[in-house]
Amino acid sequence: MTKIPPTIFLAEDEDFVAKAYIFFLKKEEFNVVSVKKGDEVVLRILELQPKPDIILMDLVMPGVDGFENLKILKSNEQTKNIPVLVISNLSQQSEIDRCMKLGAVDYVIKSNSSAQDLIEKIKTILNCK
């Protein structure tokens, strides 16, 4: 019996960045579901069966921003236990603290991290190193 690879939900509005993340995540044999609009995040996750194993959430997105999506996801019975890894170029400590208080498991500043750094964090969070 083959093991089902983890599913990653990617909320990223920048096309180039999303494509790069998807490329590297699929290369690691993750399943990837992605959206580009903030107001699609919660709806898509609620539709997914089974639920994603982890959510990668950009903060600055059209429609609903990542802060609001994080708050909604963490207050919903169906999604509150899914780890959320914030991926953003917002680098102020106050923004990082806000995300952690809202329930994010970690915070990655895109411009300071390589795809490999991100993959290592995901594997650590999912305990699949």
Query: Does residue 2 fall inside a structural domain?
Result: no
Global pTM reads 0.95
Tell me what the pLDDT averaged over the chain comes to.
94
pLDDT attached to residue 4: 83
Q: What is the CATH number of the domain that holds 87?
A: 3.40.50.2300
Look-up of token digits 């995040």: 41
Query: Does residue 50 fall inside a structural domain?
Result: yes
Which structural domain, as residue segments, surrounds residue 20? 7-126
Query: Does residue 1 fall inside a structural domain?
Result: no
Higher local confidence (pLDDT), 80 or 115: 80
Number of domains composing the chain: 1
